[in-house]
Chains A and B, each alone.
Chain A
Amino acid sequence: MSIVSQLATILLNGLQQGAIYVLVAIGLSIILGTLKFVNFAHGALYLIGTYLGLLITLTIRVSDGKLAEWGFGQVGLGWGFLPALIIVPIIVFGVGLLMERFVARPFYDRPDTDQILLTFGLAIVVQEAFKILFGGQSYNFARPARTSLGPLELQLSGPISLPVVGTIGIWRLYVIAITAVLVALVYLLIEYTDFGLVVRAGTRDAEMVRLLGVKITRPYLMVFGVGAALAGIAGVVGGTLYAVNPNIGMDVLVPSFLVVVIGGVGSIRGAVVGGILIGLTLSSLVAVAPQWSQVGIYVLAAIILLTRPQGLLGSEEVAP
């Protein structure tokens, strides 16, 4: 195998692995940057997204947990994957709005530790609720092999042969593509719309924005909702890659926080760079020194924190 194709494989694997983290981290990052709210329950939104996606896409057999006890041995709509990809972010957006209004808002002016305790507790509550309902077992979130989108016939799973790289699971390319499109949309929303302008201004100096007569609570609500919706989509997309169980929310949270730390709080570009860096570090270390792959991402985060505490693309806090 040539060096070029090996590098291309590492690149693709890294991009795909980073992609899920990017989707989760963008929400975390803009909520943290804009609202100064540390949301440890962000992984729970991912978890909700995954289970919703699973239930919309397939009909699953539940043999454990309360649902089975109550006689719901088979649950799910079985509508297919594309409806899930559209419906889930809308629902999770709503969940995000509720979370902002009833959980986050009363805590905006409280210290970080309070926010962490609150949201961490909430994350555990959500996780345990899923465990009670569906049992601790793992489900297989299988995508249909093909799907048709109007006249377009799409192959969703199975391998594909690419020049240079060789064989790769086609779904991994979709994951990268979906992430790229979503990131672009959010970037445009924040950088080029009036809404985005208010959000960015609020990030710099919320008090001044308020004094200028802008009602800032509404954009804040939207930011939270958008962040949540992204986590929901990440859940649908990421859920299909691995087995689904109640712990996946917590599992995705820690690397996503690392992405925020590496990229810089509040920066969408930072989250993208951070996610890709973590993905690439993981995939290249697996190729070179597998035993160091997990440690590697933390070493990377430590080096960046030591040399550039605000993250790669984060801006330094200006003291008020």
Chain B
Amino acid sequence: MGRYVARRLLQMIPVFIGSTLLIFCMMYALPGDPVRAMMGDQAYDPAVVASIKKELGLDQPLLQQYVNYMTGLFQGDFGTQIASQRPIADIISDAFPVTIRLTIFSFTFVTVVGIGLGIVAGLRPDTLRDRGLLTLTLFLVSMPSFVLGFLLQYLLAFKWSVTTPTVTDSTDFSQLFLPATVLASLSLAYVARLTRTSIAENLRSDYIRTAVAKGLPRRRIVGVHLMRNSLIPVVTFLGIEIGSLMTGAIVTEGIFNVRGIGIEIYEALSRREGATVVGIASLMVVIYLVASLIVDLLYAVLDPRIRYA
């Protein structure tokens, strides 16, 4: 187990370097010069543009810039944002907690409600409540998150005034409830359906029949025998979903004015702030990698037959 984890961690290094280099190259390949764009469409002085670029090292060749960036990164320096001249580390540490809060909130929501609904429906497949759930989730899957976002915002904030239309304080969980629900809705539908199918299927399997035949109490059959096996595909999905929830927050963050990394990365992209984009993206890469490692380790917990060497 320990060796497996160590090997996985070592594998992350080339993946990390490769992905950052890729993003770096992509940013470099995009047309448009960040320093020039900052000057806007009124008059400007080319000498100032050249001078700023020289100061930031943007006049150097791509590989040199990448090497400079990576050396800085290993010394804990994420670089400086071109326009605001603030350290990118500051910008990330401002925005990240917001998105993490939103993600944790909606992730908990997805897990608890999604699995709960899945169990409820899966234990009694093809009954009315099962079909009800299938219809509801179909509705959620086919609804783009911005439609749902605007709809809920309109109904809850304007029609019934139960909540504020936008998030003014991202530490306030009651304000985050609406964006988190919207963000969670799509994954919620998938999780519910996955759980439902998995449970319905395993319910008919031999080992459950054996357990029933042994006369085990229903609680134990469902809670231990059925759940453990049925949750493997769900956990796989949930692990990957952490990453998508974080990046997928872009639209939702926009609608509800949540100042997280979604907005940050969008703004940085349109201003060609290469260092900011790479900084945030590489953090996302790390989160993805760690999440998938945790998922793999959870397999062993759920299914003792799976062993790692």
Partners in one complex: no
Chain A interfacial positions (CB closer than 8 Å to B): none
Residues of B that sit less than 8 Å from A by CB: none
